A and B are shown apart, each in its own frame.
Chain A
Amino acid sequence: MQTPAPVGYARAGSVADALALLAQHGEDARVIAGGHSLIPMMRLRLARPEVLVDINDLAELKGIRIEGDEIVIGAMVRHAEVLASPVLAEHYAIFAEAERVIADPIVRNRGTVGGSMCQADPSEDLSAVGAALKGRVEVTGPGGTRSLAIREFHDGPYETKVGPGEILTTVRFPIRPGAGSAYEKVERRVGDWPVCSAGAYVVVRDGVVAEAGIGLTAVGAPHFCAPDAEEFLLGKAPDADTLEQAARLAAAAARPSADQRGPADYKSHLAYELTRRALTRAAASSQGA
């Protein structure tokens, strides 16, 4: 039964305060939000930060709101809030569908959107959602705030473009009238990382696909997306055959590794099948079905 190694603790009162604390403690400090990625790692002593900068009080990072034609989600928004949000449900079903299968109801009370994005697990469901919806993140540091596409946010497993001394502050998504979206996940049990997850949004206009976004996680798809499959769909009617072909292209973007969650060919199959299902439901939803 393990416990964390000795660590320092500082509670930030604002974003500026948090940045100052990070600057003060340098490389040895680690931001803690929900703590449900970091504390388990600290208990196993896989992670041994010298100082924790607690950002749970940062009001600036809370809340889900609409700003013009964008949905804005603060980094400190808890998974439970995303799941329950009527604002998000109104625009994209994919949020609630994904959150229902992220972790478990108790963990979702603490885990945050920003924390999950920054932990950047290669099986992170929110990464697939963010990539599917072609969202953006804002990162704030001593040099100011910059905006990045989620599809450019990840450098590799557990590595993002958030530099030392910086924090992720918001996640943004364009509002797309007429869009339908869906999420599909296969997991061995509740709370597990996916064997494979696929998320999609589709905008069908005049009977053909005007826009599409496909996100994949846990199967090594570069930047959690399948751009070839998306490209293929444009201008085509979303019939079963077309969606199957798109799903096959999506599976081709996946590079799964065999592990305790399954062999590579099974994961590739899931990448195909779950994409096909997500696209089918998203297209149907866009067409008002």
Chain B
Amino acid sequence: MQVTITVNGEPRTADVEERMLLVHFIRDELKLRGTHWGCDTSNCGTCVLWLDGEPVKSCTVLAVMADGHEVRTVEDLAHGAELDPIQTGFMECHGLQCGFCTPGMMMTSRWLLDHNPHPSEEEIRETLSGQICRCTGYKNIVAAVQWAADHPAGADAAATPSEVTA
């Protein structure tokens, strides 16, 4: 059936099978490969994107359920060449190694900071608790989110390594 989903501000229409998962619509129909597909069990969270402004696991939503709704993916974090503070934070604080979990981590973190600009470490960990990373041990992911909270305007020319608490 035909679905129209507003993705990153743009209405996108396609004819899809009813059984198609939203993650596959985004990746295979729209060729937006920033969102990943990781597990069979709705656990890992590497597929997290925003549906109507809230982070959801897109492997557990059917594309047809998102028909008429709004989706935001990791590709929308940067504004042209300007990175989102979350993205810069992940860079500055070595918040990724293989990068597989990173899009989902960033989308949830972005949502968190939009709603809670100065979260405690516990709040960051709790918000990300539904997502798994096999590389970093989470410490640097938390640091990345804290960095983004501390630098809401993004990469600061004056930022020095000593300001980075990694």
Cβ-based interface call for A24 (8 A): no
Q: Tell me if A106 and B130 are in contact (CB < 8 A).
A: yes
Contact with A along B1-31 (1 / 0, CB 8 A): 1000000000000000111010010000000
Cβ-based interface call for A110 (8 A): yes
**Do most interface residues of chain A lie in helix, strand or loop, or is the interface mixed?**
loop
CA distance A52 to B56 in the complex (A): 20
Q: Tell me if B40 and A1 are in contact (CB < 8 A).
A: yes
Q: Tell me if A191 and B60 are in contact (CB < 8 A).
A: no
Q: Tell me if B48 and A106 are in contact (CB < 8 A).
A: yes
Contact with A along B25-68 (1 / 0, CB 8 A): 00000000000010011110100100000111101111011010
Q: A2-B40, A9-B1, A35-B60 are in contact. Are A106 and B131 (CB under 8 A)?
A: yes
Q: A35-B61, A39-B60 are in contact. Are A107 and B19 (CB under 8 A)?
A: no
Cβ-based interface call for A56 (8 A): yes
Contact with B along A1-24 (1 / 0, CB 8 A): 111111111010000000000000
Q: Tell me if B127 and A105 are in contact (CB < 8 A).
A: yes
Q: How large is the interface on B (under 10, 10 to 19, 20 to 34, 35 or more residues)?
A: 20 to 34
Cβ-based interface call for A109 (8 A): yes
In whole Å, how far is A33's beta carbon from the nearest beta carbon of chain B?
A: 10
Q: Tell me if B65 and A56 are in contact (CB < 8 A).
A: yes
Cβ-based interface call for B140 (8 A): no
Residues of B within 8 A of A6 (CB): 17-19
Q: How large is the interface on A (under 10, 10 to 19, 20 to 34, 35 or more residues)?
A: 20 to 34
Q: Tell me if B18 and A107 are in contact (CB < 8 A).
A: no
In whole Å, how far is B68's beta carbon from the nearest beta carbon of chain A?
A: 9
Cβ-based interface call for B114 (8 A): no
Cβ-based interface call for B108 (8 A): yes
A-B contact pairs, 26 of them (CB 8 A): A1-B40, A4-B21, A5-B19, A6-B18, A9-B64, A11-B64, A35-B65, A36-B57, A39-B62, A40-B60, A42-B19, A43-B21, A54-B64, A54-B65, A103-B130, A105-B108, A105-B127, A106-B45, A106-B108, A107-B42, A107-B130, A109-B54, A109-B56, A110-B60, A110-B61, A190-B130
Residues of A within 8 A of B (CB): 1-9, 11, 32, 35-36, 39-40, 42-44, 52, 54, 56, 80, 103-107, 109-110, 190-191
